[in-house]
């Protein structure tokens, strides 16, 4: 069998298939399932700003794109996860990382750049994610 291992920006992946930040990666269990089904890396739903902003009007609105009767894609306009960062770090990130999953973090920008940097550092300090 051919090896598809690749490296991107210093991150080694078993193959170049990356599950983007979208509905299929909304929590740790779904990220872990993507890893078990051979995704090369997973980008969980974008880590959210503080709790009070976690419920946003676009959450969960999706559209299936069709060509005739065939589904050909999905439009994802969810901005970020509705799971609080603390919960992600306490439970979901651990579940996503089971088995050594390659996780690439996506962090939403806060109005205050220092708050964004603090969240990014907190996530990176888990040692379980790649940050670019």
E strands within 24-130? 41-42, 62-67, 70-76
What fold does the segment set 6-124 form as a domain?
TIM Barrel (3.20.20)
Query: What is the value of pTM for the model shown?
Result: 0.77
Mean pLDDT in the chain?
84
Domain ranges of the chain: 6-124
Question: Rounded to whole angstroms, what are the CA distances from 73 to 59, 63, 93?
Answer: 18, 9, 27
Both structure tokens of 13: 């992946």
pLDDT at 108: 84
- 40 versus 64: the higher-pLDDT residue is 40
Q: Please check whether residue 89 is in contact with residue 104, taking contact to mean a CB–CB distance below 8 angstroms.
A: no
Whole-angstrom distance, CA of residue 56 vs CA of residue 79: 8
pLDDT tens string 13-44: 999 999 988 878 889 999 999 999 999 999 99
Beta-sheet pairing, 62-67 with 41-42 = unpaired
If you search the block for the tokens 């960062």, which residue do you land on?
85
């Amino acid at each position: 069998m051919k090896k598809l291992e690749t490296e991107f920006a210093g991150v080694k992946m078993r193959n170049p298939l990356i599950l983007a930040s979208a509905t299929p990666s909304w929590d740790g269990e779904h990220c872990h399932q993507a890893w078990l089904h051979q995704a090369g890396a997973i980008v969980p739903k974008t880590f959210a700003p503080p709790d009070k902003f976690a419920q946003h009007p676009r959450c969960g609105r999706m559209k299936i794109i069709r060509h005739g009767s065939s589904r050909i894609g999905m439009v994802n306009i969810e901005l970020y996860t509705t799971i609080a960062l603390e919960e992600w770090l306490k439970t979901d990130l651990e579940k996503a990382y089971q088995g050594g999953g390659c996780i690439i973090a996506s962090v939403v920008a806060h109005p205050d750049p220092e708050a964004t940097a603090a969240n990014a550092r907190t996530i990176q300090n888990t040692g379980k994610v790649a940050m670019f």
